[in-house]
Structure 1
Amino acid sequence: MPGKGATVATARQPKLLRLPEVLAELDMSRAAFYRMRARGKGPRVVKLPTGGIRIRRADLDAWLATCEELAA
């Protein structure tokens, strides 16, 4: 049993991807990703208090699905 105040990961928590994971999956450079975001064309991101970003797996998948539809 976890101690008081401990958090337990559950299946309900969304998978948060780090930027290098996303860049590898998209085969994209960091600069290209930030240019795309600046144009409002990228996936939704979660901004952390430290200034870093994370991307929810579901948001990346949804964004990729819209890219498929636009190309069809």
Structure 2
Amino acid sequence: MVLNRTELLTVRDVLDELGGVSPRTFYRWRELRTAPRCIRLPNGELRVRRDALEEWLDDRAEGAT
């Protein structure tokens, strides 16, 4: 499967990819400015670019200690 790096994911898509994180947790991360960067559409809905989600995950990866 080829991933489209510019694909815009819904909040639900992001939560599913994160293994079922709750919407409340995601929006709390937004309040704390620790969530992946989002795009607010003119209708008020949020989207996350796939590459931004992947970068956000990479930034949180823990190396072997």
- If the length of structure 1 is used for normalisation, what is the TM-score? 0.75
Q: Give the letter aligned to residue 52 of structure 2.
A: D
Residue segments in structure 2 that go unaligned for 5+ positions in a row:
none
Same amino acid, percent of matched pairs = 37
Q: What is the CA-CA distance between 1:14 and the residue it aligns to? A: 1.4
Q: Name whichever structure is richer in helix by fraction.
A: 1
Cα distance change, pair 43–13 in 1 and its aligned pair in 2 (3 A):
closer
Whether the aligned pair in 1 keeps the contact of 2:5 and 2:49 (CA below 8 Å) is no
Q: Which has the higher contact order (CA 8 A, sep 6+)?
A: 2
Number of residue equivalences: 59
- The corresponding residue for 2:17 is 25
Partner-residue secondary structure (3-state), 2:60:
helix
1:1-72 pair list within 5 angstroms: 14-26=6-18, 27-68=20-61, 71-72=62-63
Alpha-carbon distance in 1 for matches of 2:5, 2:15:
22
- Following superposition, the deviation at residue 13 of structure 1 comes to 7.9
How much has 1:33 moved relative to structure 2? 0.2
> What SS does the aligned partner of 1:17 have?
strand
